[in-house]
Amino acid sequence: MNRFDKLASQWDLNPNRVESAIKTTHKIKALLDIKDKDILDYGSGTGLISFNLFEDAHSILAMDNSKGMLDEMQRKIQEADITNIKTKLHDGNIDAFPKERFDLIITAMTLHHIKNPPLFIKNITKALKVSGYLAISDLELEDGSFHGGDDDGVEHFGFDKQVINRWFKEAGLEIVYLETNETIVKHKNFKVFLAIGKLL
């Protein structure tokens, strides 16, 4: 049982997480047409991203490496009687991705938990259909205090946006949007970027 399994039942009670998911999905929907699209929500947690997209999407596959998070998400799916969201346990550090399956892949606040981000971006891009989009939202470079000293599973203290730009290009993605999208206010302010790339 990892720390995310233990936190799953209380995850949605954090207003910063809920607000961040809303801001991310609103910006994506403002920039991209997601109507009837097949979407991968990677690092889905309890589904805060997915639940802001399912009414427009054709299908959503939610992947996460925490069984506890996915169990909580599955409970919410069943309670709401949602039929177009499926869940799957998956570890992006070691597990393979399906090939050419999704119109859009979103991964929010997950990349800093990935051991090798440029390799992960290359691998997950292979799951896009031709002309599909990858959207990554995560922390900009920070001093390591975001998690309040609980760094279990934290591989990176945020990212430089220009490095993200380079990794997208190396994966064959054309950047269509790369900006600071929000600021999470905790004991200090932490900037969060949104990067969207299109598969060439």
pLDDT digits (tens, 9 = 90+) for 30-72: 999 999 999 999 999 999 999 999 999 999 999 999 999 999 9
| Model pLDDT for residues 62-118, shown as the tens digit of each residue | 999 999 999 999 999 999 999 999 999 999 999 999 999 999 999 999 999 999 999
Average pLDDT value for residue range 161-169 = 98
The answer on pLDDT for 144 being more than 90 is yes
Pair 162, 118: CB distance under 8 Å: no
The predicted pLDDT at position 100 comes to 96
**Percent of the chain whose predicted confidence (pLDDT) is above 70:** 100
Q: Determine how many CB atoms are found less than 10 A away from the CB of residue 35.
A: 10
Pair 17, 11: CB distance under 8 Å: yes
| Model pLDDT for residues 176-194, shown as the tens digit of each residue | 999 999 999 888 999 999 9
Q: How far is CA 188 from the centre of its chain?
A: 23
The predicted pLDDT at position 3 comes to 77
User: 120 in helix, strand or coil?
Assistant: helix
Domains of the chain: 3-199 (3.40.50.150)
φ, ψ of residue 71 to 5 degrees: the values are -60, -40
Residue 34's H or E segment, with its range, is none
